A = this chain, B = another copy of it.
Amino acid sequence: MRVGLFGFGRTGKSVATVLLQSKESHLCWVIRKSETLQHRSVPEFLGIESDEPGLIFPKDELPPPRLFDEHPIDVLIDFSSAEAILSYGGEAAKRGISIVSAISEYPGTTIDFIKKLSQQTKVLWSPNITIGINFLMLAAKVLKSIAPYTDIEIIEEHFKAKKEVSGTSRIMARVLSLPEESIKTIRAGGIVGRHEILIGFPFQTIRLTHESISREAFGNGALFAAQHLMDRPIGLYSLEDLLIPYFNLKQHI
């Protein structure tokens, strides 16, 4: 699976590390925002031994048609910005390149554009592209359907400097039909990220907890998404869509 990566900020670098170290993917290139180029390859930049090219291109050096023609890929992973897909989307879709986007938010018109792309190629969009968080939301949804009389609370903890309520917890609230005020926000020290969905029964309590250790988790999620898209037909997906088949347990386990 040949992969191209848009975005080489803090998260992008962590994702690149995972892609380089995985046997399932082959990191062909990375598009970065900054013009200054001290290194021309990701393995060199990150100090990882690898025989994958991992070429680094500044954003505007290679316009998409040339980029895809000269450096062909199967999957494009996007951790850059909400605008990027407008520039590469059409050319990628035309060539049947799968698109995996982890962008937090898109304006309405871009979402329409993405829906159109998904008629031509496979597109997955997931703002929090970790297996753990998406599993947690589905599991909580199942439990709520089993025991609709329970009380559900969401507690999210992050480092002090994080100003707003976490986007992930807001998606959790939406998926579980809870008002956004029901999210309890803890800000302290250097906590990387912790989300807890607490489900209170009259005589028992269940806690579904996700603790982030580092940003590399996004890389594993993106890789999982890219691999699972391979067996899927053209269309628009979320990471949850790819997890749902695993929930279809058979009787008499």
Contact = CB atoms under 8 A, between A and B. Distances in A.
A230 interface: no
A1 interface: no
Number of copies: 4
A71 B219 CA distance: 44
A141 B147 CA distance: 20
B244 A251 contact: yes
Contacts of A131: 146-147, 201, 204
A120 interface: no
Contact of A202 (B141, B157, B190, B201): B190
B204 A210 contact: yes
Interface string A178-203: 00000011111111100000111111
Nearest to A150: B189
A202 B216 contact: yes
A201 B220 contact: yes
Contact of A188 (B151, B220, B246, B253): B151
Interface residues of A, number: 65
A205 interface: yes
A112 interface: no
Contact of A207 (B187, B209, B215, B246): B209
B204 A130 contact: yes
B204 A211 contact: yes
Interface of A: 130-132, 135-136, 138-139, 141-143, 145-147, 150-153, 155, 157, 159-160, 175, 184-192, 198-217, 219-220, 240-241, 243-244, 246-253
Closest 9 pairs between A and B when the two form their complex, measured CB to CB: A189-B200, A188-B200, A151-B188, A203-B217, A203-B216, A207-B209, A184-B184, A204-B217, A205-B211
